[in-house]
Amino acid sequence: MDSDAQHPDDDRDESIENADASAEVAEENVETPTATPKRRLSRKVLFAGAGVAMAAIAAYGVDIYVTHGETGRGTSVLGVDISGISPAAAQQKLEGQFPEIASKPVSLRAGETSVEMVPATAGLGINWKATAESAAHQSYNPFSRLIALFHTHDIAPVQTVDEPKFSAELQSVSAAINHEQLQGGIVFHGSVPEAINSIAGQKLDAAKLRGAVQDGWPTGGPVELPLTDPGALVTDQALKQTMREVAIPASSADLVVQGEQNIKATLPRDRIGEVLSFKPDGKGGLDAKWDVKSAEKILAPQLASTEKPARDATVAIGAKGPYVVGEQSGRTVDWGKTLANFSKDMLKPTDRVLTATYGDSVPTFKKADAEKLGIREVIGEFSTSGFEYASGVNIRRTAEQVNGAIVKPGADFSLNGWTGPRGLDQGYVESGVIINGRPGRGVGGGVSQFATTLYNAGYFAGMDDIEHREHSYYISRYPAGREATVWEGSIDVKFRNPAKTGVLIQAIGDDSSITVRIWGTKTVNVESINGGRWDYTSPSTIRLPEGPGCAASGGQDGFTTSDTRVIRDATTNAERSRATRIVVYEPVPVVICEKPKPPAKPDPKPADDAKPAPATPTTTPPTTTPEAPPAEVQEP
């Protein structure tokens, strides 16, 4: 039997499959009439949309090509339409519309104040060519170009600015428009309060002023200028209320603080202005400001005799050398507690009497602290002598103030800072000074001699030099290049204690000399090496009329010198440091006191043929014997 022959069962199966396939085809044929139109419609829409897009793109390209080089569609400047024309035509059109725009006055207004400005005079103008060219820079955004078909947009003209003129104009405008604002308040005249009403003002906003003027003037004005926010002014109602509730009651009576030993302190009503002031609260009212510290300054001195202040431990110098003085507790008024309700107490209608609260005062520097300072021996000492009586008074007064001063490890000492003012009220007197090379008089003269003595004592004690200045003119009783002047408020002698132990300054003065010793723990030896003198300079000559304002002087050469300080370890003698300072001294001028010349007598009228007599040569008056230099040189 042929192997390829089909079995009867196979033919049956194939027939069944063909039948199933015919059924599926029949089902498809049932849906076909409705599906085919939809597919055809979608393709038509797609083709139509693509056609529209291509047309839009083509139209966009044509629009770009056609309008290239022209001003943008829908463009105007200061309300004048310049769309769709060349920049040159736009420039011509604008210049014709605004021929004298910069020459016409423009009103600048702020509040109720206004001023006129001529733009051209203020350095302002318009560049019409640049304006037209900027309008030709069209947008390539298709949506913007589409909107431009139905909407006009105005562009700002391009301005020219002469900065110096414009800045000057803005200053002038500000001066005319700005009016100072005065906040209301209350002041005291003794015990009488006075209410000051607010005055409205205005101030231009400087940060926005320039832009506002430049943006506004081309329109012809008026230009509204920006003002700063002045804040709320104190109202008349708030003034009356504060006067009634605070100012008048506070100034109606004295405040009394009853201390111990039946001693009283009084804050008088006529000093109320020192402890009470008023400040605007920013909401139209006034806040009362009570100064408790100022009240304490008025009251505390009056109860000082009832107190025993604490005393810190210290070191003193006795016949046998330094010794420690222990601390001592005290008892003082606790002003914080006494004046705890100060603002309420000051408004009591009657019975403004407080009882002072006392408390223990504890020292901050104890005996153990003083012992740790290690002040046991002299580590630096220097003396000077030779001064007149008045200078001696000032030198000894300075010594009294400085004597016993302790400089802790790492701390600084300032002569001016320690003594404070050196005037008549502090016990100083008028003495000799030299100012600009000429002798004179001044209160505190002579203190430079103490400054030189102190500087040298610190120099040899190994103190670090922070500040000192040599005299401009050399004084022979001081070591050249190693001396110091002083002037209250400007020239000081200041040094720092570099040691791990403290130092004590001892100052002793008598009728003819001053000595300063620095006590501490000796750790270094100091050597001074003078470098000699060179570069001498000759003095100038000053001629002055004879009289009290002239003190004759033979002058003195100036010169340059140097001083080298070498510091060595006191134990090993190893060199720790070496520093050289070069000092230039100016020449002291020669001062000649001349007798005033008698007034010249009028000559008789000479004959026509008279000849003028030859001039008689003058001779320089001889130099007088120089006086002794004053005891002090101070340089303002």
Q: What would the mean pLDDT of 327-347 be, rounded to a whole number?
A: 96
Q: What is the pLDDT of residue 439?
A: 65
Q: What is the pLDDT of residue 58?
A: 55
Q: What are phi and psi of 135, to 5 degrees?
A: -70, -20
Question: Using CA atoms, how far apart are residues 395 and 514, in angstroms rounded to an integer?
Answer: 8
Q: What is the pLDDT of residue 553?
A: 84
Which DSSP helix (H) or strand (E) runs through 116? strand 113-117
Q: To 5 degrees, how large is the angle CA 542–CA 547–CA 550?
A: 30
pLDDT at 403 over 60: yes
> Which has more pLDDT, 24 or 258?
258
Question: Using CA atoms, how far apart are residues 28 and 204, in angstroms rounded to an integer?
Answer: 86
Q: What is the pLDDT of residue 6?
A: 44
Q: What is the pLDDT of residues 533-588, one digit of tens each?
A: 999 999 999 898 988 878 888 889 999 999 999 999 999 999 999 999 999 999 99
Question: Using CA atoms, how far apart are residues 89 and 152, in angstroms rounded to an integer?
Answer: 18
Do the Cβ atoms of 46 and 58 come closer than 8 Å? no
Q: What is the pLDDT of residue 46?
A: 63
> Which has more pLDDT, 633 or 131?
131
Q: What is the pLDDT of residues 497-529, one digit of tens each?
A: 999 999 999 999 999 999 999 999 999 999 999
* Structural domains of the chain, ranges and CATH numbers in brackets: 44-179+203-226 (no CATH), 236-364 (3.10.20), 373-594 (no CATH)
pLDDT at 236 over 70: yes
Q: What is the pLDDT of residue 267?
A: 97
Q: What is the pLDDT of residues 433-463, one digit of tens each?
A: 766 656 667 888 889 999 999 999 999 999 9
236: Cβ contacts below 8 Å, ≥ 6 apart: 184, 197, 198
pLDDT at 28 over 50: no
Do the Cβ atoms of 219 and 208 come closer than 8 Å? no
Q: What would the mean pLDDT of 272-299 be, rounded to a whole number?
A: 96
Q: What is the pLDDT of residue 52?
A: 58
pLDDT at 3 over 70: no
pLDDT category of residue 625 using cuts at 50, 70 and 90: very low
Question: Using CA atoms, how far apart are residues 197 and 630, in angstroms rounded to an integer?
Answer: 60
Q: Which of 268, 266, 269 is nearest to 251 (CA)?
A: 269
- Distances, alpha carbon 317 to alpha carbons 196, 314, 400, 413, 503, in Å: 61, 10, 14, 19, 12
> Which has more pLDDT, 377 or 608?
377
Share of the chain above pLDDT 90, in %: 63
Q: What is the pLDDT of residues 100-158, one digit of tens each?
A: 899 999 999 998 889 999 999 999 999 999 988 888 765 555 554 445 454 567 888 99
- Distances, alpha carbon 571 to alpha carbons 231, 523, 524, in Å: 72, 7, 8
pTM: 0.58
pLDDT at 227 over 70: yes
Q: What is the pLDDT of residues 79-89, one digit of tens each?
A: 898 888 888 89
